[in-house]
Chain A
Amino acid sequence: MAISIKNMKLKGKTWKFGDNINTDLIIPARYMTAYEAAELGKHCMEDADPEFSKKVQPGDVIIAGENFGCGSSREHAVLALKGAGISAIIAKSFARIFFRNAINTGLPIIESPEAAAAIKEGAEIVIDLTAGQIEDRSENQHFTIKEFPEFLTEIVENGGLLRWATKEKKEPIK
């Protein structure tokens, strides 16, 4: 499930969530005998909104508050979001294991307190990862994405950690 984000624009509608959206909420443990994105996606955010996965259109974006993805290390959470059709997450801040899981599996995540606060649910937005810009077409507002550490960008651009690892034959960091 690797996608290169080089020269990529993401366009979709937004779904807004609050603070501390934890992994038990994103994908309850009762579904964790599955580990394919398509299956997990059917149950994404089920305890918050049983219809969520049906409502999401491929390409949609989640806008969230602080500490998104806190709780368990389960990578199933990222897979559930991808399986539901989410193409990116903009949050005020991310919990660390979720953050690394998103990087490692090539799901674009953007930490932007301003964008996360200002963008409303149901907005049409365009994220230009190369230019580092978020455009909210519904409210006509723009946000600049804070520069990402080069090492992490490399992993995401190469479609995830193992792709990057096997593609790069040299030691990328000392």
Chain B
Amino acid sequence: MAISLFGSDESDPYIFMTLTEKILAKKSGRSELKPGEFVLVDVDLGFANDLTGPPAIKEFEKYGDKVFAPEKVALIPDHFTPCKDIDSAGLVRILREFSRKQGISRFYEIGRMGVEHALLPEEGLILPGTIVIGADSHTCTHGALGAFATGVGSTDLAFFLLTGKAWFRVPETIAVEFSGKLPEWVGGKDLILYLISKTGVDGARYKSFEFIGPVVSRLPVDDRFSMCNMAIEAGAKNGIIAPDRITLDYLRQVNPAWVNSHPDFTLNPDSGVVYSKKIEIDVSKLEPFVAAPDLPSNGYPVSQLSDVKLDQVLIGSCTNGRISDLKIAAGILKGKKVAKGLRLIVIPATQKIWQEALKEGYLNTFVESGAAVSTPTCGPCLGGHMGVLAEGEVALATTNRNFVGRMGHPRSKVYLSSAAVAAASAVTGRITHPSVV
């Protein structure tokens, strides 16, 4: 893997901008800007969930009584829903009542929702060249569609509710170029786990990841979501992929009106742009990758972890709960049984995905193999509900974080992987290469 460092050249007669810089410039009314500058931008979409929304609303209500742009707000109760206890029900009620009072139509009840970072693109709300902020760290997922999308706190969200804006310091951009031929069973989740194993959990701190190169250009949209989803786990402010034909094909399905009204839309970094750092990765020799406890950067090729016995496998989340993940998992699990002594939980990320998985027979396959299939929720990913771990238990999950205590007891352990590795491992009871089952 080659890393090269470029500096910015003071003798440049023009400013060459990266994707992130271009979007921040446009939305702050500037023709150009440079890393390090502070900007106040117009936000196109701001959202929060059942945990981050209530504090944002309480803060907003101290200073204002009318949301600046209710049509740009989305509230998605997804972390502790279907409400796991009385307090959680109270949190959702706050979101519900606020939505009603403020005329926020994008409030999603169970049965008509999904985990926020799978739901919002599906609703056609994520568009290239826009600014998306979410009071949830995995908001960076939406860079997959060429938006500047980043996680913010509840107070930031309150500021957006009041003003329609957000403040940012313009980040430097690290280009990550993937080239070579993608081996079988290696996808977006493996690529990002591999990258984070090289950068560490703060190797991209405050920076933007721009994913480029021939491998990314051919990567299906679900894999792009998985990759951008974990940009934050390297400390990055955002991850972004220039919109291309794959992006447009997806947008044609979820927001045809936008595509029709933007027939010539393009958004690319300036050719000749110099990135602050460029990481080159040849994917040809990669294996499916797994992050071991207790950091998302603690990654290994799957074959090196085949001794790890598992108590629970989780397939789902905003990282890998999409239809292509379920298709891969169902393909591996078809006609097989979940290993004795192991629990498999499958959580399709949205209601639509759930329905499609039902139609395609995937849910049947999961149930017949002995899995517990759930309605969409973030639940176990953050140790909330729907599959929390006891002391000493070991889980493999298609989620994005495995810090100490992430999924339950502080003395439980979490490994992170793709859906393919998770499905294969559910069959054997140990961390397993998908080609083995």
Contact = CB atoms under 8 A, between A and B. Distances in A.
Interface in B326-380: none
Contact of A24 (B87, B135, B155, B401): B401
Among A20, A66, A78, A100, which residue has the most Cβ atoms of chain B within 10 A? A100
A100 B202 contact: no
B167 interface: yes
Find the residue from A25, A33, A70, A149 having the highest chain B CB count within 10 A: A33
Interface stretch (B146-154, B219-227, B271-279, B307-315): B146-154
Given A35-B58, A75-B52, A24 B405 contact: yes
B88 interface: yes
Contact of A73 (B28, B40, B52, B410): B52
A57 to B, nearest CB: 25
B156 A161 contact: yes
Nearest to B165: A165
B38 A151 contact: yes
Interface string A4-28: 0000000000000000101011001
B382 interface: yes
Contact of A100 (B29, B58, B153): B153
A74 B135 CA distance: 8
Contact of B40 (A47, A71, A104, A173): A173
Contacts of A165: 63, 159, 162-163
B235 interface: yes
Contact of B405 (A47, A79, A93): A47
B153 A162 contact: no
B384 A29 contact: yes
Contacts of B395: none
B201 A20 contact: yes
Contacts of A101: 153-156
Interface residues of B, number: 56
B72 interface: no
B59 A162 contact: yes
A30 B383 contact: yes
A73 B85 contact: no
Given A70-B235, A95-B235, A173-B40, A75 B154 contact: yes
B401 A71 contact: yes
Contacts of A34: 87
Contacts of A47: 404-405, 410
Nearest to B56: A75
A73 B151 contact: yes
A84 to B, nearest CB: 17
A67 interface: yes
Interface in A17-54: 20, 22, 24-25, 28-30, 32-35, 47
Contacts of A173: 38-40, 167
Interface string B203-220: 001100000000000000
A18 to B, nearest CB: 12
Given A22-B403, A29-B384, A30-B383, A93 B153 contact: no
A97 interface: yes
Nearest to B151: A73
A78 B52 CA distance: 13
A96 B153 contact: no
A138 interface: no
Contacts of B100: none
B137 A97 contact: yes
Nearest to B381: A29
A29 B206 CA distance: 24
A124 to B, nearest CB: 30
A39 to B, nearest CB: 11
Contacts of A163: 63
A72 interface: yes
B159 A162 contact: yes
28 contacts: A20-B202, A29-B384, A33-B51, A67-B201, A70-B235, A71-B137, A72-B382, A72-B401, A73-B136, A73-B139, A76-B51, A95-B205, A96-B237, A97-B137, A101-B153, A101-B155, A101-B156, A104-B153, A105-B155, A149-B169, A160-B155, A161-B156, A162-B60, A162-B62, A162-B63, A162-B155, A163-B63, A171-B40
The 6 A-B pairs with the shortest beta carbon distances in the complex, nearest first, are A33-B87, A101-B153, A104-B155, A67-B202, A75-B153, A47-B410
Given A96-B237, A101-B156, 13 more contacts: A28-B405, A29-B382, A33-B90, A72-B136, A76-B51, A96-B206, A97-B152, A101-B153, A101-B154, A162-B63, A162-B159, A165-B162, A173-B167
